[in-house]
Amino acid sequence: MITLQNPMGTISMTSDYFAELVSQAARSCYGVAGMATGGRGDDLKSLVFGSDFPEKGVRVTQSDRSLTIELHIKVGYGLNIATIVKSITHKVKHEVEKATGLTVARIEVSVDDIVAD
């Protein structure tokens, strides 16, 4: 749960909302073939929920008013990974800050798989 304090009270946003927001922004970038599982927890969720679930490959942590986002992605074969990662970081940062008003302090992108077209 991500929370934001303002003069009128507290706003709470679910992890599923953030995961879907970040996942949609990342998948819309050129060269991203999909989200990858981000460890044993995601592997277990894949078995229970199927291959696609909102928080697949996305971890969001909050400290004060800033967020750290960790992404695990699959990219297309033969594409420039550095360019794809730069595109993802800009797009995700912009979308999250626009939608929530919170500051994105850091985005960590792990390329876990290369997919042939």
- Domain over 2-115 is classified CATH 3.90.1150.10: no
pTM above 0.75, yes or no: yes
Closest CA relative to residue 100, chosen from 57, 67, 64, 55? 67
Residue spans of the domains in the chain: they are: 2-115
Q: What digits encode the pLDDT tens for the residues 20-31?
A: 899 999 999 999
Average pLDDT over the chain, rounded to whole?
Answer: 83
Q: What pLDDT, on the 0 to 100 scale, is given for residue 18?
A: 83
1-15, 38-52, 74-88: segment of lowest average pLDDT = 38-52
Share of the chain above pLDDT 70, in %: 84
Band of pLDDT at residue 53, cut at 50, 70 and 90? very low
Give backbone dihedrals phi and psi of 56, rounded to 5 degrees, phi first.
Answer: -60, 120
Give backbone dihedrals phi and psi of 33, rounded to 5 degrees, phi first.
Answer: -90, -15
